[in-house]
Structure 1
């Protein structure tokens, strides 16, 4: 298979067994200035009544407002984060920081999500049934972020001015992602069903990035460690990588990749001791 076959040895990236209480959030109106809503997490909602959840504060510009000004709040939270499911019934593209720092439980977004969804999450599961804006899963530590649509820039990246991005957990993007996916990544897994654009895996130090589709340019630039696998065409291959061997099976943690790949190491443009591994589909990149 030119793009490779992905075999997942284990599929449980979150936790949660047993009954969960559900809190439903339904948007009341169109949001003009974006909301900073890092309180939309199972950790913040757990143990609170519907009224108490509605009184939690969100930022809009320089002011704070009750969550209930923007969402109808229904249902009840569990006694712990692990027993709490939050369901957002509608589009939340103008709502930022949903699930930030969450440690357990689940969030289901029946639409798209704004910037920083899942930033710093430690555990639990977030499922977005639409697209996500930039910085999804930034500096993620654990759990599962599952994006059914497309993603913006900087998925799993380090924050501006910092060197270390995602350290653990799994991000699954069924569509495509834009620039600098996995920048500064130290651990965990990012799986992309579509394509990526420029500088995927820039400054990567660890973890796995698997892209079923193609990549534009700068793939693995300044990479020092970790693994990148690309099943499609690479438009402009980075010059700092050296061919090592042909491979037909790649194993990384819980994942096994089967196909015909050319293995490169690098990025030697930055360091002669670089240990990054880049696997490229042989059929779609015969010139490499």
Structure 2
């Protein structure tokens, strides 16, 4: 990809965060069997003292344990989710479902996050300063999930056996992501600064996916709607797309992308009524 080939601009409303009370979680020990910790949300912590937060239950295998068995809990939560900041000071790659269905507030993970971080998220903000395991932002509805490192498979995806994935909100990945990013996506926005692997945007119905780097194969396979923009090279282009035009600007909601693109529509291999839009860098894909 040529440096600066794709310019991404987003118009922000400029929100000012209110005063937040901080709860700090510090891992006590290495975790062997992964934890199911959907209680780690501002919604669950709101109105509770550090002692009460420590008594919240998490699953490890077939048993439940208090959160305080695994984390030192410091600080009391705010009176509402919106007034609560949770800071995890350490790696949480073996802690699943952090921020699940949260509606407001903020979570900062000073390390990596386990599977399903931000699943079903409705609002608020999660910042992961390391990597995120698979299923990050699954079926997300609102809010911001910001991953500073890399992400695994199925970001913003629909769960197994379902057709509809992310419906709203925004996911930003500063590194790269793996397979099936945005699968079944109905709305919202995903931005990947690096590369993606196979089947990015598979079965996409709406929303916007922007990949600044390269894509392996199957981009937009079975998509019926929505927009995908790839600033790098697509190694194996899906056959069900038809060339429409040359473009130098893509707009979607409050996002503007500037570059030299070939616009395709599809995936006509699935439906002749498909309305998906795929924009591909001209410089990185001269053979298309």
TM-score (norm 2): 0.98
In structure 1, the partner of 2:198 is 198
Does 1:112 find its partner at 2:84?
Answer: no
Give unmatched runs, 5+ long, in structure 2. Answer: none
Instruction: String of CA shifts for 1:171-219, please: whole Å, max 9, x gaps.
Output: 0000000000000000000000000000000000000000000000000
**Cα 1:134–1:275, aligned 2, differ >3 Å: closer, same or farther?**
same
For residue 285 of structure 2, what is the aligned residue in structure 1? 285
- Aligned partners of 2:35 and 2:209: how far apart in 1? 31
Q: Secondary structure at the match of 2:52?
A: helix
TM-score (norm 1): 0.98
Matches within 5 A, 1:44-83: 44-83=44-83
- Structure 1, residues 26-77: CA drift from partner, whole Å, max 9, x if none? 0000000000000000000000011000000000000000000000000110
Matched with 1:3 is 5
Counterparts in 2 of 1:38-187, with a 5 A limit? 38-187=38-187
Tell me how large the CA RMSD over aligned residues is.
1.0
SS at match of 2:197: coil
Task: Tell me the distance in 1 between the aligned counterparts of 2:129 and 2:45.
Answer: 22
In structure 1, what is the Cα distance between the partners aligned to 2:132 and 2:16?
24
Count of aligned pairs: 286
Q: Is the 8 A contact 1:127 1:146 kept in 2?
A: yes
Unpaired segments ≥5 residues, structure 1: none
| d(CA) in 2 for partners of 1:279, 1:211 | 10
Shift of 1:2: 6.1
Contact 1:2 1:284 in 2 (8 A): no
Shift of 1:9: 1.2
Q: Distance in 2 between matches of 1:49 and 1:174?
A: 35
Distance 1:185 1:2 in 2: 27
Runs of 4+ aligned structure 1 residues displaced above 3 Å come to none
1:121 Cα deviation (Å)?
Answer: 0.3
Matches within 5 A, 1:225-264: 225-264=225-264
What's the offset of the Cα at 1:11? 6.0
